[in-house]
Structure 1
Amino acid sequence: MTTAKRKRMPRAERERQMIEVAEQVFGERGYAMASMDEIAELVGVSKPMLYEYFNSKEGLLLACIRQSRSALQEATEQSIVGAESAQEALRRGLLAFFVFIRERRQAWSLLRHEMALIGTPAADEIEETRRQQTDLITALMSGYFDSEDTLRAEASAEFVVGACERLAIWCERFPEVTPEKATEYAMDLLWAGLSQRAI
């Protein structure tokens, strides 16, 4: 049996390819059932090469979560650029989140199945994703809302992140709920309280 010679590519590009495939496999099978052999085969590299890049299966999972967190941060931050009001900024940010989880289902699956990862570095990475989004919303509020009560701002941001996470999980059961519709549902509840603090 002959095998095609693997085309050499830059390390960063190969790493992105590995992460993309691993994200798909982890998302479909779950971390425990995912196989490094399968990931290596799908990428078209040897299993030792996977270990050379990520040290371990857990290291590969952490790389997937960090990549997803970075992509989510970029999507949400870019979405609110140029927003002219607190309401518009919140709506844009929520829509970016719901679009992300619809378009990046495997990444979202990794982030939401944390119960199997409790007590591992992966669980810490997932919580860091939440903190990232909470910090973004808190910063947003400091620009559009009365920011004298910092604890209230942080509590509000935690509430928004938690509520949207649960709504996203609910949306998985109802694929007919579009990102736009999910955003509408979230705004109906969240803006009623937040609007009272808008500058």
Structure 2
Amino acid sequence: MPRAERERQMLQVAEEVFAERGYVSASMDEIAERVGVSKPMLYEYFHSKEGLLLACIAQSRAELREATEEAVLGATSAEEALRRGLRAFFVYIRERRQAWSLLRHEMALIGTGASDEIEETRRQQTDLIAKLMTGYFGVGSPLRVEATAEFVVGACERLAVWCERHAEVTPDRATDYAMDVLWTGLRERAQ
């Protein structure tokens, strides 16, 4: 099997095991067994269990960014860009529950490099939202743009956690809920 394909397989299985058992309880033995490789091969690719976790988080971050960026392409208004970006996020967390689980269980990862990776995911989304806002809104100072983007990211994270408890809430419905609150505060600043 080509190296890139084997690595994708290892990451997929590791994501499943980390999501099922949590980082601390997950074992490299179980991951290797499920993948059908030796434990030393996992270490050859990722150097450590933490290295494997970091690779899983980095992959999830890249996928989330790609989904969000693609969703807002061609948006013709601030409202449309916000709605599309929010929907992409809620679709991602619904369709990639295991990846989302890794990103949201950061308290168990404090003291590991993973907590930095998770914060980098937030930073990525905040930067993307701030960039979009600058193009669509008369937002004022860069500090205000960043504060508003941080608010959007934090609010959406909490709504996503709430959605986990309410399986009946679809990505479209979650987007509507978020837009009801967020767009009300942003509408007046749209250009």
TM-score, structure 1 normalization: 0.95
Q: Which of 45, 52, 59 in structure 2 is aligned with 1:53?
A: 45
Identity %: 77
* Alignment size in residue pairs: 191
Deviation at 1:51, TM superposition (A): 0.3
- Confirm whether residue 186 of structure 1 aligns to residue 186 of structure 2: no
Query: C-alpha offsets along residues 91-132 of structure 1, whole Å, 9 cap, x if unaligned?
Result: 000000000000000000000000011121100000000000
Correspondence for 2:6: 14
Q: CA deviation at 1:185?
A: 0.2
Aligned CA-pair RMSD: 0.6
**In structure 2, the residue corresponding to 1:172 is in which secondary structure?**
helix
Query: What residue is the counterpart of 1:85 in the other structure?
Result: 77
One-letter amino acid of the structure 2 residue matched with residue 154 of structure 1: E
Shift of 1:147: 4.2
Distance 1:28 1:139 in 2: 35
From 108, 116, 124, the counterpart of 1:116: 108
Partner SS for 2:165: coil
Q: Displacement of 1:10 after TM fit?
A: 1.0
Q: d(CA) in 2 for partners of 1:119 and 1:20?
A: 24
Corresponding residue to 2:66 among 60, 74, 77: 74
Secondary structure in structure 2 of the residue aligned to 1:40: helix
In the alignment, what sits opposite 1:176? Answer: 168
Cα drift, residue 149 of structure 1: 1.5
Q: SS state of the match for residue 75, structure 2?
A: coil
**Which residue identity does 1:194 align to in structure 2?**
L
Find the structure with the greater CA-based Rg.
1
Structure (1 or 2) with the greater helix fraction:
2
CA distance in 2, matches of 1:108, 1:25: 13
2:19 and 2:177 map into 1 onto residues whose CA distance is 27
Alpha-carbon distance in 1 for matches of 2:20, 2:93: 15
Matches within 5 A, 1:152-167: 152-167=144-159
Offset at residue 188 of structure 1 (A): 0.0
Runs of 4+ with deviation above 6 angstroms: none
Taking the TM superposition and a 5 Å limit, the aligned residue runs for 1:126-141 are: 126-141=118-133
The equivalent of 1:35 in structure 2 is 27
Structure 1 residue runs of 5 or longer lacking an equivalent are 1-8
Deviation (angstroms), 1:19 = 0.3
Which whole-Å CA distance do the structure 1 matches of 2:13 and 2:188 have between them? 45
**Aligned mates of 2:20, 2:48 — CA distance in 1:** 19
Residue in structure 2 matched with residue 97 of structure 1 by the alignment? 89
CA drift of 1:148 comes to 3.3
